[in-house]
Amino acid sequence: MSRKAIPYTPVSKALSDMTIMIVSTAGVHLKSQEPYNLKGDATYRIIPGDVTVDALTVTHGAPLHDYNWEEPRKDPNTVFPIDVLRELVVAGEIKAVAEKHITMMGYSLRLNEIVTNTAPAIAKEVDRSHADAVILTAG
Amino acid sequence: MVTVQRAIEMVGIPTVLITLDKDQSSVMRPSRAINPEGFQFGHSLGKPFDQVTHGAVLTAALNRLIQKGEPGVIETMAFSTYEA
């Protein structure tokens, strides 16, 4: 698909009936998972929906002036808003937080691999989940 | 990131992007996106532990998700609780 054609899926549910997933290229991952390769990485990580932020960290190859990844290391919610989503569930604004979330590390030169393999694989993961919509962040 | 967004939209799941790099994201024409004005990279939703701003940005993004709007347009928004 060319860049001129913009894929656009209409929203078919009220927000209060939606399960929301986070997909982020900000380099967030579980401390127990393999860190991203700072030289470039086209892989992604699955983050369980019940994760606590103290189990998360950030690995990212960008210079700090392009992306200050030290900030989300202090509080992953700056790029991975899991606690805020949970607050919205409690408030009845959304139905649920997805059972899993997906992260990867942007700032990669392996663009062909990301376009050809990684992005479609992530889309398949989202499609197989029960998520109704996705919030994306990039750091 | 917009590459991933487009792939997800193509399988039928609606998305909204929070981007701090409006120029770069604009090139790829995201399906739906907001741009928190003046936020530093690393603060997509605000500074660490700033729960008020995190909530405001996330709510704004979700509102953008459900509003009808022109695809490819990134909406710049100011958040008064964020100080660079």
Instruction: Look at residue B11 and tell me whether its pLDDT is greater than 70.
Output: yes
Cβ(A40)–Cβ(A23) below 8 Å: no
pLDDT, tens only, B23-67 = 989 888 999 999 999 999 999 999 999 999 999 999 999 999 999
Q: How far apart are CA B50 and CA B38, in angstroms?
A: 16
Picking from B3, B4, B41 by the largest number of A CB atoms within 10 A of its own CB, the best residue to mutate is: B4
**B8: amino acid identity, one letter:** I
Cβ(A67)–Cβ(A38) below 8 Å: no
Give chain B's length.
84
CB contact under 8 A, B15 and A70: no
Collect all residues with Cβ–Cβ distance below 8 Å to A4 and sequence separation of at least 6.
Answer: B29
CB contact under 8 A, B48 and A94: no
B84 has a chain A CB within 8 A of its CB: no
B28 has a chain A CB within 8 A of its CB: yes
Cβ(A133)–Cβ(A55) below 8 Å: no
Tokens of residue A23, six digits: 């997909």
Tokens of residue B52, six digits: 């008020």
Residues of B in contact with A92 (CB under 8 A): none
Instruction: Look at residue A124 and tell me whether its pLDDT is greater than 60.
Output: yes
0.90 surpassed by complex ipTM: yes
Q: How far apart are CA A1 and CA B11, in angstroms?
A: 13
Q: What is the pTM of this model?
A: 0.95
CB contact under 8 A, A87 and B65: no
Instruction: Look at residue B69 and tell me whether its pLDDT is greater than 90.
Output: no
DSSP secondary structure letters along chain B: -HHHHHHHHHTT--EEEE-S-HHHHHHH--SSEEEETTPPTT-SS-STT-HHHHHHHHHHHHHHHHS---TT-EEEE--TT---
Work out the pLDDT band at A102, boundaries 50, 70, 90: very high
